[in-house]
Copies of this chain bind each other. A is one copy, B any other.
Amino acid sequence: MSVRDLHSFWEWGRKIICVGRNYAEHARELGNPLPGAEPLLFLKPPSAYLRPGSAIRPPRYSRRLQPEVELGLVLAKGGSSIPQEEAMGYLGGYALCLDMTARDTQEECKRKGHPWTLAKAFDCSCPVSDFIPKDKLPDPHSLTLWLKVNGQLRQQGHTSQMLFPIPHLISYISGIIRLEEGDLILTGTPAGVSDVQEDDELQAGIDDLVTMKFKVKSD
């Protein structure tokens, strides 16, 4: 099988697939309808990866940058049309992620019927933690995700609230877009999104198991 090191998946992984509106409270706070029978998907390119120690630089065209704290799934092997019952076997582990969103741009894209690329795929739009091996999070549907900005709690949610749980996501996505080793799936964000500004410090975590920090900097 693999000769690649999942511990540095962001250096060589070729795909980031994101799920929108996977927590009901968050869909409502943005005034979005809940997804129908199927998850809502969008993409980020691997150039969006950002590692702790680097600053988040907002895209020049946005005045409303918002972080969305999300659980990321890292694929250990690829596949197409993966059955839900087998989906967990394709997982190598997890990463804590921020789905950085240019909210004003996204609203314009939605209004105009444009792709979401400018809102979601810009450089720095995917800060990620260290790789978390699968056995460190034996029940990924019973985790608390949280985000603090300058020490104040902004988002907190529980992965049991996902509208489409992990096996459903992996199975559904792999029926449309072939998954490959090193791919990352962002599983959606709980409620509480809000704007961040220059010099804000973002700290995100999974319970008290994982934490990461990023600073926002325009230069």
* B-binding residues in A (CB < 8 A): 14-15, 17, 20, 40-48, 59-60, 80, 109-111, 113-118, 120-123, 175-180
Contacts and interface: CB of A to CB of B under 8 A. Distances in A.
Contact of A115 (B14, B41, B179): B41
A44 to B, nearest CB: 8
Q: Which 6 A-B pairs have the closest CB atoms?
A: A110-B113, A42-B115, A115-B116, A47-B178, A15-B45, A41-B117
A43 B43 contact: yes
A123 B47 contact: no
B118 A15 contact: no
A183 to B, nearest CB: 8
Given A15-B45, A176-B59, A177-B45, A109 B113 contact: yes
Contacts of A178: 47, 123
A120 B175 CA distance: 14
A22 B80 CA distance: 33
A118 B45 contact: no
A133 B41 CA distance: 35
Contacts of A175: 60
B114 A47 contact: no
A65 B46 CA distance: 28
Contacts of A43: 43-45, 115, 117, 121
B113 A177 contact: no
Contacts of A45: 14-15, 17, 43, 177
B47 A15 contact: yes
Contacts of A15: 45-47
A195 to B, nearest CB: 20
Nearest to A35: B114
Given A43-B117, A109-B113, A118-B176, 11 more contacts: A14-B45, A14-B47, A20-B115, A40-B115, A42-B117, A43-B44, A47-B180, A110-B113, A115-B116, A116-B116, A121-B177
